[in-house]
Amino acid sequence: VTADNYAEAGFTLKLYADSLQWSARPVVADSQAQPDQPEWHRKEQLYHLILQYFDKGKCWEQGIPLCKELANLYERKLFDYNKLSHILQTQAKFCDNILTLLRPEPEYFRVGFYGLSFPLFLRNKVFIYRGLEYERIEAFTQRLLTEFPSAQIMARNSPPS
C-alpha cells in the first residue's frame, strides 16, 4: 500500500478472505487491528478494505462480485438494509466508473531475481510486476535499480547460466 500498489494489496487480502467462510465460528485475533470475532465479521471487514483498495487501484470490475456477495449477506442473512443500501451504492459507483472514467492500460513486466545479491525470498524467482499508471519500461527499470542498486539488466528471458 505504501508503494501505491492498491490493486495488488486488494488481491492479496482477497486470498486471505477466500480462506474464511460466512460462518459464526470464532476467529482468533491475529493483530491489534483484528480482535477475536466471528469468521463472517472478519470476512466482511476484509471485503470492505478490499473494495477500498480496488477503488483506489481502479480495478472496479474485480470489486463488483464482492459487492454482490456482501449484498446477499445483508439482504438474506443479516437483514441489514442500511448496509445493503450502502453496498449497492458502491456497486453502482463501480459500474459508473467503468463506463465513464478513462484508465490507462497497465504495463506488465517480467522480473527475475538471479544471484546471491538478492534476499532469499526473491532469489532465483520470477515475478510479474504491474507498472504504475503511465509507467514505461525505462521508469520501471529505474525504480527497480533504486531498490536494488547492484542489479544488472538482462536482455533475454532465460535464466543466466
Please count the residues of the chain: 161
Q: Which domain holds residue 135?
A: 104-161
Residues 6+ apart with CB under 8 A from 16: 46
Q: Determine how many CB atoms are found less than 10 A away from the CB of residue 44.
A: 21
Read off the C-alpha cell for 72: 446477499
**Sign of the C-alpha dihedral, residues 58, 15, 119, 137?**
negative
Over residues 49-69, the mean pLDDT reads 98
Is the predicted pLDDT of residue 145 greater than 70, yes or no?
yes
Would you say residue 32 lies in a domain? yes
Per-residue pLDDT tens digits for 64-117: 999 999 999 999 999 999 999 999 999 999 999 999 999 988 899 999 999 999
pTM of the predicted structure, to 2 decimals? 0.83
Same domain, yes or no, for 12 and 65? Answer: yes
Is the predicted pLDDT of residue 4 greater than 90, yes or no?
no
**Range ranked top by mean pLDDT from 47-61, 107-121, 131-145:** 47-61
Domain boundary, last residue among 82, 100, 118: 100
Is the predicted pLDDT of residue 11 greater than 80, yes or no?
yes
